[in-house]
Every structure is written in structure tokens, then in C-alpha cells.
A and B are shown apart, each in its own frame.
Chain A
Amino acid sequence: MAGRATPRLADLLTLSVQTRRDAEATRRALHRRDRGLVADYEDEPTDGPTGDRRRLLAWTRRVQNGQVRQRLHAGWWTALTLGAVAAVFLGVGAALAVFRYDGTRPINVLAVLVVFVALPLVTAAVSALGMLGVLPRLWPGSLPGLGGAVVSAVASKLPGAASETAEALRGELRRGGKVLGRAGVWAGWSVSQVLALMFVGSGWVTFMALLATSDLAFGWASTFEVDPEKLRSGLLSLLWFAPGVVPDAQTVELTISERAVPFTELYQADPDAFKSWWRPLSWLIVAYGIAPRLLLAAWSVLRMRRAVTTAFDRHPAGQDVLRRMKTPLVEAGGPNGDAAQTDAGQTDKPFVDQTDLETLETTETKTSETWSVIRWSAAPTPGVADDAEVRDAGGGCTLEQDQATLHDTAAAGRPVRVYVKGWEPPLAEFTDLLISLRDQLGDGVLTEVAVVRRGETDHAAASVWARKLSAIGDPWLRVVAATEPNRTDAAAEGTP
């Protein structure tokens, strides 16, 4: 399992669920945990996106002994199985209803066609349109909400693990489904296609079973005036690949049910004519009820896999996990390990606000090779390499300079770090720029706002930034804290 490099939905959800649970833990504890997880994984490729993906996959399967993923995985399959059982139940039930035959009246061919051919065909066509992206355009933006509503309606009725999975899904959908991206949509399509397939498939199997165990007679009655000749030619064109199974004109004519002569007499005269309908029906169900659905199911599952991989690769929490896995853990060990840990935990949280910010290591430098750096309103830029290109915006810049910075940064397409002064509040002119930057960069490109603090008093202000920016609700937007070097004592220092 460790070697497989294809993330599953459970891996994706594990990233989401685990990082939400991690919100309570100190960064040091998380670093210790994740750094430890990777220890026996060193021989795997270490560079490039595939290496990162493998590393992250290993993480989802090992964190908390893999229990989170296991439960999510089991939950997903439990839910699917339950759904499948329900679909089979429905399919068998529908088949028993339309193929009911007690010798007094023939099975209505048209009813069979409606339930097991026309209905599946129409829903398959709607699904296909949806998968092609036509339907979401009809209801733009409503899909995550709709999905969330469906999931939450189902969630409470599911057993343990499955309801956890549903909760995780719903959580993501509630947050706008951005992290799941298309994976959520395709998961929805896959499930619906597989369940629909189960319905028609079990209907067809029931039909076969009834045929094998009892005599069935078919007739066709319609409240509409259907011309027997037209019906036959219609069937012929539908079954163009097997014209031989279509009953001949006489049989079609003969098996019209509403006649002066009672059905039992007609049946006695020529039972084979009434029985011969099973062939075209069976073919129609297979060709138009089952086959398209099979294709759609296969297609949507494939697309789901791909979407899951994409979402997994750019999951906003993934970057944090990878950083923790890759960065060596430095601990100043005291004689008593536990005591040292609690101390470290406390110094990790310098202020009481719950929006604790990750503090950047000032030794960690960003170069313009990998990151774009924006300096808002002449904020200090700790942690930026001397030769790195830094773009300015805000403060003394003109609006045109802002636009140029925005344009250049978006064009570079690299992750962005924006430095801001922690002692000033976030203004609308900043969030305006940030939001358009995020729009232009698109989902999946990390954007860090580094709030530079000078003294203890700026800590509260920094958490104001964190709250304000988290209200934007963009999963790839992160707020981190940075400390201005050589300026830790705010009270003692003069003016720039």
C-alpha cells in the first residue's frame, strides 16, 4: 500500500479532517509527530510533485496510526454499500412489479420500457449533460450547497464510520467545497451512476430469474393510439444491431392487449407469440438501460480519481504537513522530556487569542526563484533573501504601482508571500488587492500574508489580521506571523 501513488477520496478527506483536529495542538507537537512519521520513509523519491504526493500519502496512512484514514475509507465504502443495497432493493422491487404475471393479463411491454429503458436513459442523459458541465452552468455555485444538503440529509442515518465520512464531506462542502474542488462533484456523479447501474442491473437480473423460473406472457397496451407497424419499426431501429429479436408484424399485431377477445383465449391460441417479447425487452434493457450507465459510471469514477489527485496535490494543508515532514525538528531537550514539551507548548502560544499564528522561522528565506514577495506599505520583510525581488504596493505607492505589482505577481504564478505591518489594522484597500490577487492566481496557489510584529503589543493586532483574512474564506490564503529581527523591544525603539 505504501508504494501506491494514487490518492483516494479517503486520503483527501484525511488531510482535511486531521488538520482540523490539529488546530488544537501546538505547532511543536505537530512537528514532532509528522517529522517522526517520515523517518522510515527516507528511501522514497524526495523531490518533485510525485515525491511530495507519495510523502503526503504516506502521511495520511500513518498519522494517528492510519485510523483516521481507515475510518474515512471504511465509511465511504459502508455508505456506498448501503446505497447499493437500497438500489438493488429498488431494482428488484420495480422488476417484480412490472413483470408481475398471474395468467389473467399479459405483462405490459410499454411499462417495462418506461421503467427500465426510458427512465434510465433520460436520467443517464441528464447525468451526461451534468458531467459535461452543462448543468452546473444552469445552477452556478449551487452545487456544493446542494451536495452538502444531500450529504447532511443522509449523514444522520448512517452508521458510525460512514456518518463521520459524511460529516467530513459536508464540512468541506460547507466551506464552499473549494478544497475538494471537482473531486466532490465527481464523487457525487460516481455514486449516482453506480447506484443507477445497480438499479437497472438488478432489475434485469430479476427479469432473467423470473423467465427461468416461470412462464411470462407479454402484451402491449397503450392508452395512446400506437400503430403496431410504427412500434415495430421503432423497435427495429432501436435494435439495429440485432434485428432478429424483434417480433414480426403479425406477432406485434396479435399481442395488442385491449381487444374484444379475452387475453386467455388469445394466449391459448398462440402462447409463443406472447412469450417472444422477452428477447427484445432484454436487449433493450441491456443496450439502453445498462450499457450507457456502465460507460458513465466508468467515466465518472475515472474523473473522480483524477480530481481527487489534483485536489490532494494542492490541498492547502498539504503544504504545512510537507513542511513539517521535511524540516528537521530542533528541540532543546531538558532532563525531563514531558516537562520540556509542556513548556515548549506554552511558549508556542504567546497570546491568549485562539487565532494563534504560525511564526515564520526568520532563518527561512524566500527567494524569487520559488516565491513572489509583496511588501505592503513598506512593511519590514524578515525572512526574505537579500537578492530576492520584492514588489511594493500600498502605503506610499501609487494605485498604478499597485496594479503593476498585482499583474506581475499574478503572471509569475508562483506562491506569494505578502508582508504587512502587524501594528496597523487590515484596511479595505489591502483586502481589495488581496482578493483580486487571489482571483488571478486561482485555487491551489498558496498565498501567505506575513504579519510582521515588533513587540508583544502587536500580537493582539496580528490576530486581528488573522480573523479578518480568514473571513475571506479562501483555503489557500494563510496568515503567518513574522517577527522583525533586531526590533524585539518595541518600547525602546525610536522612529524609522
Chain B
Amino acid sequence: MGSYILKRLLLAVPVIFGITVIVFLIMAMIPGDPATAILGSYATPENVARLNRDLGLDQPLVARYFIWLGNMLHGDFGQSFSLNRPVIDEVLERFNNTLILAGTSFVLCTVFGILAGVVSAARQYGFADKAITFVVLLGISIPSFFLGMMMILIFAVDLQWLPVSGMYAIYGGGDLPDLLHHLTMPALALAVVATGVVARLSRSAMLEVLRQDFIRTARAKGVKEGRVIWGHALRAAMVSIIPVLGIQAGFVLSGAVYIEIVFQWPGIGRMLVDAILQRDILLVQGGVVFVAACYVIFNIIVDVAQSLLDPRIKT
């Protein structure tokens, strides 16, 4: 197992390397002099000088890439000019907030998606199946940002159950109950689409598995139907559900950008949008590379989980 994890980690190195190349090339598309483009309205002479020194902007493209990469490997993602603090500090702080939001949503979509999918498959064409199928269709069709706004109208404005936005109450907040109070709506809004996708996939994976011969064997042994469904069938279906969970994690992370804007959640998605509007290029660059690399690592965890579940995968 250890060697398998190591192997997967080694395979991730070129992918992360490729990610930096792609981001670098995209940013190199910015027309005009890079220093002024990066600095925009912050192009004071000392900032320009600092940037030229840090990023080697007077050097050819390839050299510039390796200087940038070298800096990042030392944990130096550059300076955010709009915030006047190191990019990495801001990114880490914001990413932490995003993880709380997206992580909760990911758990929600996994649990409820699989639950709904299994029930739907076990009761195929029954009432529960039809109801779930309809809700799922609605769920995957409603834009998360619109859903979030409607939730604010209903649960925050009308019913006043939950706060409109933010991560903590401004006065006297900051503890866990306060966080959960603020987290509920955005986490739910973010989870809806992914839950729908996971539910659909789980349903078809379960239907596929329930037709297999080993399910008939389990029934012939006299295994209780509940265990046939939630044990034998789900266990086998997980083999095709888990890779989709990996993909869904990417969608949850993407959707977090909208949800963070709607609910004023101080996460990395909102940071990126603000940075784009402020034309703080280094902040965008650093944030994108950092999150993409984290996502690659998350997918390794998914692969490892898959290999733990399926003894047929060579480790």
C-alpha cells in the first residue's frame, strides 16, 4: 500500500508541473509590458523594480518560468499588490475557509447522493424512485447561485432562521455554533447540484450491480434483503461511484466560487474574483496554482480509497 501511494504521488509530480506551465502560459498571454500589466494602478517605480527583481521580467519567457517555479518551490508566491501582503498568506487563509465550506458540501453530497441513489434503485419505478428522480432533475438544473439567493430570501429574510451571509457574526461570533449557523445555507446550496449528480450515478451503478450473478448468490444464501442492497450491492457499486466523487469534488470546488459570492463567504473563490476585478495578477496566479495542486492531491486520495476498496486493483 505504501509503495502504491508513493507511486501515485510520483505520478502527480508531472501533472502539477503541467499545471504550472499552463497557468504560466495563460498569464503570459496578457498583452503589453508584464510589469505594468501585473501592477496595473500599483505601478510605482519601486514596485516595478521589485517585480523585475523577483520575477526576472527582463529575461526570456523560459527563464522567467523557472524563476517563478523556483520561487514557488520555496513557498514564495509573490506579493499581492492590491492587499499588500504575501500571496501565499492570503491564499492559505482563504483556502482554509473554502475547505470548510466545500468540505462540508462534499460530505453532504456524498452521503445524501449515495443514499438517494440506492433507495431510488432499490425501489425502481416506485414512488420513492420517481420522487427522487424529479428532485434530482430539479437539483441539477437550478444554478447554485440562484438557489443560494432564493434560500436567502426564504430562510434568512422570511423565516429568519439563518443569517443572510458571512462566516461569523460580526459581534460576539467566532465559535463553532456560530460557524455552523452561518455554514448551513451555503453548504446546502453548494451541495445540491453535486448531490443530484451523485444520486443519478449511484442509481445507475446500483441497477447495474443488482443484475449481477453474485447478487443472486447472496439471495440464494438467504441474506436479508437490506444487507443485499446496502452491503453486497452498494459495496460493488462503490467501485464506480468513487471515481465520480473525485470529479464531483472538482465541481464542488468550482461551485464554491458562486456560493462564496452570494453568501459573502471569505473563501478563495471570492478572493479570485476580487483579484481579477482588481487586476491583481499574482494573486490570481498563485491562488489558481495552489488550488489546482490541492485538487490533484485530493484525487490521489480518491485513488487510494479506490484501491483499498477493490482488492483486484494491483497495489
* A and B form one complex: no
